[in-house]
Amino acid sequence: MLFPKKVKHRKWQTARKSPEKLARPDTRGITVSYGEFGLKATSPSRVRSNQIEAARRVISRTMGKQGKAWIRIFPDRPITQKAAEVPMGKGKGDPDHFVFEVRPGRILFEVSGVPEDVAKEAFRKACAKLPLQGKLVRREDTRA
């Protein structure tokens, strides 16, 4: 699973953002940069590190030995949780897992070296592992 080696702050403050702000399209990481096809998020969500790993596994298994895959997101936001049956108070809980806050338009995964139907099937299976909706996007070649 993905998580940071070292963090500056062990616990973050809770991000209290309105649903309108979360539904705004992302401005960074919105183009396919490495591969031929990308999985673009169409809804906002928090993606856990184990969900990213499950999606990566299903993409690599669907592609087989052909092609290459890239993960374009990294979970660096710590989420804390208090232990079970612990009374209220006595401070904030310990870090439990890490997430990445996805906004619509963000490219999550990229693949290259496979036909479009294989990439579409891989991304369809990967979306089933993620708590968001996504779609396949093709790279716009700007070099020509």
Residue 58 is assigned to a structural domain of this protein: yes
Instruction: Provide the whole-model pTM.
Output: 0.90
Per the listing, tokens 């996007």 go with 137
Burial class (CB in 10 A: 0-12, 13-18, 19+), 8: exposed
CATH of the domain at 50: 3.90.1170.10
The mean pLDDT value of the chain amounts to: 92
Residue 41 is assigned to a structural domain of this protein: yes
User: Taking a C-beta distance cutoff of 8 angstroms, is the pair 78, 86 a contact?
Assistant: no
When pLDDT is averaged across residues 79-102 and rounded to a whole number, the result is 94
For residue 143, name the pLDDT band (cuts at 50, 70, 90). low
Say what the pLDDT of residue 141 is.
Answer: 65
Residue 5 is assigned to a structural domain of this protein: no
Structural domain count of the chain: 1
Question: What number of residues does the chain have?
Answer: 144
Residue 62 is assigned to a structural domain of this protein: yes
Residue 73 is assigned to a structural domain of this protein: yes
Residue 21 is assigned to a structural domain of this protein: no
Q: Which helix (H) or strand (E) holds 2?
A: none
Residue 132 is assigned to a structural domain of this protein: yes
**Which residue range forms the structural domain that includes residue 134?**
28-80+93-138
Distance CA 96, CA 13 (A): 14
Residue 50 is assigned to a structural domain of this protein: yes
Span of 59-63, 91-95, 137-141 with lowest mean pLDDT: 137-141
Chain segment 5-45, per-residue pLDDT in tens: 998 999 999 887 788 888 889 899 999 999 999 999 999 99
Distance CA 81, CA 59 (A): 30
For residue 102, name the pLDDT band (cuts at 50, 70, 90). very high
Burial class (CB in 10 A: 0-12, 13-18, 19+), 98: buried
